[in-house]
Structure 1
Amino acid sequence: MQRFSFIPFKSFICERGRRLTRKRHDFLLKNHNYFPPEGHVSVSFNTETTADIFYFGGARRTEGASWSSENQLFHLTLSVEDDDVNITDLRTPSLRGASLPPLQSPGFCGKSCEQLILWGGFNTLEVCTVNDLFLFEKISSSRYKISVFKDPKEQCEFSFLKPVNELKRQLGQVPRSRTGHTLTLLSDTEFAVMHGGIQLDQRYSPAISKTFSQICDDGSFYLLNTSTFTWQLLNLPEIAPRAYHSATYLPSTKSIVFIGGVSYLGRQPHHRISVTSPLILYCDTQNDQFSLRTVSLSMCGLSPVYLSYHSTCLLGDKIVVYGGFQQLQKEIEKGHCPSPSLQMLIIDLDQTDISSVLAPANEFSTAGQTCASLGLREDCLLFSGGNKKHYFMYTSKPMIPSPCDLHDECQIMESNEISPIAWIQCDKCTKWYHQFCVQLLGRVPRGKYFCKACQSTATSNRKKQKKT
């Protein structure tokens, strides 16, 4: 892992009002200011040359002390080449059928771009947790049909679930409403496993600022048939309940690895769970056999790490754990607030050990983000959003910067500047230039900036005016 490095792919970092980005054409995207909020969910699908990532939900506290929520589906497409990775499209597909509520920390999975499944979450509009299932069915390249499957025990209908004729019912042992759970697809089957999460003790509340009593008392595992939308409570020993953990499916062993999370005592968070004790659920759906095992991992001389609200993904046969809130139990007892972690942990279950990579700067610390591997190669991970507005990569790929609007006169390849490459836009002609190419690196002027061509045109016009 020593050959890998962190690279900001696109960030909302500003330097004297000028945005920095690695790629100029990021600014040409229709939704270029979209950053997945804290508590969003994502699912990715890869080919050898492309990666499709779908984002949904999340919420961010704005400066006006109101919730900024998302109830749209975002589709990010990237091209994966030998020497680079580029954003090729970021769109919001048109959604037909039932309306979607703004949800934070729901479960999200899918076998392909053709069908996506969303379950549960915290509805920031109605101020409640839900156990509704939302089915996204692709009807064209930019359109999805939404169907809502309700709990058969639920009698009332809500204003955001219209039209009513789109409502259907889930079957079997439907779990209670919750948020902060995981819904993990067993990629070689039609089943998904749901585990964990918290519920609220009241269905409604007059204000979102009100403190809720959080109930985390369900340590069971539920199996969802993604074709019939039938739930089955698995016959397994109930474990200590947890929420805001991660779940990663390992196709080689047909198992799900649950890492970290928050454990509750009564109705209040008690402590975060150590990453050194992952829980493994082995899934044999053909023979309807499931078993649990807890493994103990060595930190290789590192201090124990307790995490929640982090993200995980596969990198070859290893699990990458990044970000989240890190806190020791004694810090919780003293009332210390958790802080976003800067550590990236590489878990090797075969060797039963954990190694650590530190991010180079605080701008990379985040929580409530998601992680996705890009393409079918084992050399590129994309981390998105969370409580920081950015996308960044952890990669071994040599990143070749795009030329600026100087075209043949662009000199960025002669620069020793490391990513992120600094850009500046002319306020008159709106062209983009590398700060290095226009001799402004490290000394961006205040106020407006005009490129040499526009300055020359303005000077020439003034001289003409004086003559007349």
Structure 2
Amino acid sequence: MVPFTASDNTPFLMLYGGTTSDETNPLKVADKGLNSLQVFNTKSNKWYAPSTANAPKTGPVLPGCGAAAGNVWVYDPQYGAPNKASTSVSLLDSVHWSWSMPTQQGQLPVTRFGAAFAYVPSKQAFYMHGGIPLDDTTNTADSSASAANNLDILSPNDLKWGYASNGPARMYHTLCYMKSTESIVLFGGADGNIDSYNDVKVLSAVTNTWQYSPKIDGNAPAERLLHSAVCTDDTMYVFGGVHSIKDDPSDSTV
């Protein structure tokens, strides 16, 4: 779900990708994502499905999504389709409702599935971390694959990739930007050895350095992966998720 504000200041929530499968392991349905777009207008409290041009034939099951510069940006590894690193980023023009796959520059990131993705307005950049690295030839991964710790940065202004200091190995986790501290907050996920975590790691958007043991008061929510998280200026809200990929979703607490 991507929060987005158009140029006319009408607030939207955009829902893209995902799957209707009841399979609990995302890798088993990674090539069967939905390509439909649903838009919720928070002023009218109504959903609608705009007709889009040039939509990918298969959508991403776990897309990395963010809004910037009047458009929606999607990191889609195009699971199972070989040699797709150069077209892993899709751009939705919210004025004409048209998709494109712009040419990317710089050091392209390792193609991966289940990475976390967040936009940092102060840097005008998308940060992508972790995920499961995919095979260069087949663009697939096996179920025993370990999580990556790569941190890659995409500038939407010039479509150029860069990178910063690697963080913890993690997949199926979340990132969100907290304005009050100019930091990116990582929560939960798994690493291939542990079913799930409930820890917090903090990345400074100023120095691009990690803080592995920030002081946090109160009781942390249960360990989880495949959850959702969003940050306001100084608060992170976490919803849903599962303890392991063997479990059905059960947590409905924010």
Report the TM-score when normalising by structure 1. Answer: 0.46
For 1:118-137, what aligned pairs fall within 5 Å after superposition? Answer: 118-121=74-77, 123=79, 126=80, 131=85, 132-137=88-93
Contact 1:246 1:258 in 2 (8 A): yes
* Higher RCO (CA < 8 A, seq sep 6+): 1
For 1:232, give the aligned amino acid. Answer: G
Paired position in structure 1 for 2:45: 87
Paired position in structure 2 for 1:319: 236
Which residue, out of 240, 249, 266, partners 2:168? 240
Paired position in structure 2 for 1:458: none
Once the two structures are superposed, residues 28-54 of structure 1 have per-residue CA deviations (whole angstroms, 9 ceiling, x without a partner) of xxxxxxxxxxxxxx211359x953011
Q: Which structure has greater helix proportion?
A: 1
Q: Cα–Cα, structure 1 residues 130 and 198, in superposed 2: closer, same or farther, change >3 Å?
A: farther
The 2-side partners of 1:76 and 1:175 are apart by 32
Paired position in structure 2 for 1:179: 113
Deviation at 1:299, TM superposition (A): 4.2
Paired position in structure 2 for 1:272: 196
Paired position in structure 2 for 1:71: 35
1:256 aligns with 2:179: no
Deviation at 1:93, TM superposition (A): 2.4
**Secondary structure at 1:252 match in 2:** helix
Once the two structures are superposed, residues 282-328 of structure 1 have per-residue CA deviations (whole angstroms, 9 ceiling, x without a partner) of 112xxxx321102243444x7x721101111235632111110025x
Q: Cα–Cα, structure 1 residues 258 and 77, in superposed 2: closer, same or farther, change >3 Å?
A: same
Deviation at 1:189, TM superposition (A): 3.4
Size of the alignment, in residue pairs?
Answer: 243
Contact 2:178 2:232 in 1 (8 A): no
Q: Cα–Cα, structure 1 residues 281 and 326, in superposed 2: closer, same or farther, change >3 Å?
A: same
Deviation at 1:217, TM superposition (A): 4.6
The 1-side partners of 2:182 and 2:160 are apart by 21
Once the two structures are superposed, residues 154-186 of structure 1 have per-residue CA deviations (whole angstroms, 9 ceiling, x without a partner) of xxxxxxxxxxxxxxx211111121121122111
The 1-side partners of 2:73 and 2:172 are apart by 19
The 2-side partners of 1:130 and 1:110 are apart by 22
Which residue, out of 153, 156, 161, partners 1:231? 161
The 2-side partners of 1:229 and 1:71 are apart by 23
1:189 aligns with 2:123: yes
Paired position in structure 2 for 1:297: 216
Q: Cα–Cα, structure 1 residues 308 and 128, in superposed 2: closer, same or farther, change >3 Å?
A: farther
Percent of paired sites with the same residue: 22
Paired position in structure 2 for 1:163: none
Q: Which structure has greater strand proportion?
A: 1
For 1:241, give the aligned amino acid. Answer: A
Paired position in structure 2 for 1:282: 204
Paired position in structure 2 for 1:170: 104
When the two chains are superposed, the root-mean-square deviation of aligned CA atoms in Å is 3.2
For 1:256, give the aligned amino acid. Answer: I
Contact 1:220 1:239 in 2 (8 A): yes
Contact 2:240 2:252 in 1 (8 A): yes
Deviating beyond 4 angstroms after TM superposition, the runs of 4 or more aligned structure 1 residues are 126-130
For 1:286-365, what aligned pairs fall within 5 Å after superposition? Answer: 289-294=207-212, 295-300=214-219, 305-314=222-231, 317-326=234-243, 337-342=246-251, 344=253
The 1-side partners of 2:205 and 2:3 are apart by 22
1:45 aligns with 2:45: no
Paired position in structure 2 for 1:203: 138
Higher-Rg member (1/2): 1
Paired position in structure 2 for 1:29: none
For 1:307-456, what aligned pairs fall within 5 Å after superposition? Answer: 307-314=224-231, 317-326=234-243, 337-342=246-251, 344=253
The 2-side partners of 1:220 and 1:197 are apart by 8
